[in-house]
Structure 1
């Protein structure tokens, strides 16, 4: 069997991670994984220049020459088929609204217009990748959520992503579900955490890491913010766990690294609802997302 390779990209609101993936064995090529943090609200040409640098570094480090495609995990709203960004008023990619990201990538990399570039929702990529990592999930109904600058979700039935039908919310998305005084993402996201902390303390923090450091150093208001987010996350997902009959929920994204601060309150709310479901925290979100993205090039 001939081995083929693809570039996997995990693009978030504050970072890009690239790796060269062996599509035949679904493995990340050694030394190819490369990541860079950046401000996605920079001008388009500066953002694209950062992406180009990260992609080229991954390719150079992999020593692979025959790349056959690019698979991109991208937050929504996004036209994944056409490659057009529709992100607006989300504190990220404010200059990308209406732009064709596929064309921007191909032009920056000097690839031909017909070079395969596939886009998929970042949460769906994460969920698919987790299924590849844990083979027992191939026989289960799995709900995966990603917690970061936004709130992502996907629903996977025996390895197949489900985004339509009565079992799941519209497009398989939960970020825009009505919740409290707004939508779910207003409460379960970095901005939700920071907003809640400002309400409690009066202080404005720069990012989630500052809040995490305060919490682990005993700031009770910071601790309360994470605990409340765990409860909020449970309230958002419980109806859809029931509707989808999910057997396993996997939590990933940057905020998942703070699971020691919110998982207890999340589990307590799940138990209180009468649900019995396996709950897991992903330990390597990015690898899962990259493998999940490239899996769509195989489908």
Structure 2
């Protein structure tokens, strides 16, 4: 369905070239953005009040899909989710589209460079900004911004709590990979001597490989296989074993906690972080690794508050929308 048809169904009398929606009463007291979190198997959209950095009630809509479908089919799904989110929000104006995307991705220019990752196999080399413009019938000057998923998560966590805007924050996402970001007073930092190259830690040399080999779902599963010879399907299976009291499963989580600490301690120190946030699906198993992580932090004499995120997806949506916070 074309976006214009959707607008007409909502009793909107005009579709501005910049995607601003005007209702008959012309009430435009607030500014809103569409926040979009795109993963390998899902898309979530919500309308964000960017003046107050709050999600609009009932606007969150999520759907799962196969990202290896043809491009036009994927874009149809994305349009549908965005359209439903707008409809449910009842907003009067949309200022921009802010998209949280996994990498590798050219976030400034909108090009997708994901390859050989069993996702978005038809998107390699395509300009996703142009795809959004075509699918949603947007003008070239309408803001469509992209950011790394880990950075969106970190910025979202910062903007959720105003007290964090004065802090130096390091955040990580633990899942199929190891994401990270460094934020100083609400601004992402990815260059300079105080942070690793591009603000990334997944590829830092660690033990017999790189950090992500050990601090990730595959690191956990690999550790369990090393000790038991058994191959598990996924991290949830390992988590359930730990819940059931499996000592090896618990040991593997604890080892990951220690490994995470060893990876981040040098950068917590260099960056001068006073706040550390852990997110991602594996964070749900923090009861099995957080104590080991904190012990390593304590042994190294670091004074940093450590927090486990309780709303990874909400944080990502807010973090994406924060790109339009002062535009």
| TM-score tier after normalising by the smaller chain length | over 0.9
2:323 alignment counterpart: 296
- TM-score normalised by structure 2 residue count: 0.85
Displacement of 1:98: 1.7
- The answer on whether the counterparts of 1:102 and 1:117 sit within 8 Å (CA) in structure 2 is yes
Bigger Rg, structure 1 or 2: 2
1:188-208: per-residue Cα shift (whole Å, max 9, x none)? 222222233333333333332
Query: Is 1:205–2:232 an aligned residue pair?
Result: yes
Structure 1 pair 28–191 and aligned structure 2 pair: CA distance change class (3 A): same
1:26 alignment counterpart: 53
Displacement of 1:91: 4.2
Instruction: For structure 1, list consecutive stretches of 5 or more residues without a partner in the other structure.
Output: none
1:54 alignment counterpart: 81
- The answer on whether the counterparts of 1:13 and 1:149 sit within 8 Å (CA) in structure 2 is no
2:96 alignment counterpart: 69
Counterpart CA distance in 2 for 1:53 and 1:205 is: 35
Counterpart CA distance in 2 for 1:258 and 1:154 is: 21
Query: Is 1:284–2:311 an aligned residue pair?
Result: yes
Instruction: For structure 2, list consecutive stretches of 5 or more residues without a partner in the other structure.
Output: 1-27
- The answer on whether the counterparts of 2:177 and 2:202 sit within 8 Å (CA) in structure 1 is yes
- The answer on whether the counterparts of 1:30 and 1:62 sit within 8 Å (CA) in structure 2 is yes
* Corresponding pairs, count: 299
- The answer on whether the counterparts of 2:53 and 2:160 sit within 8 Å (CA) in structure 1 is no
Displacement of 1:41: 4.0
- TM-score normalised by structure 1 residue count: 0.92
- The answer on whether the counterparts of 2:48 and 2:55 sit within 8 Å (CA) in structure 1 is yes
Displacement of 1:174: 0.9
After alignment, is 29-38 or 276-285 more displaced? 29-38
- The answer on whether the counterparts of 2:36 and 2:44 sit within 8 Å (CA) in structure 1 is yes
1:147 alignment counterpart: 174
Counterpart CA distance in 2 for 1:30 and 1:134 is: 19
Counterpart CA distance in 2 for 1:181 and 1:15 is: 33
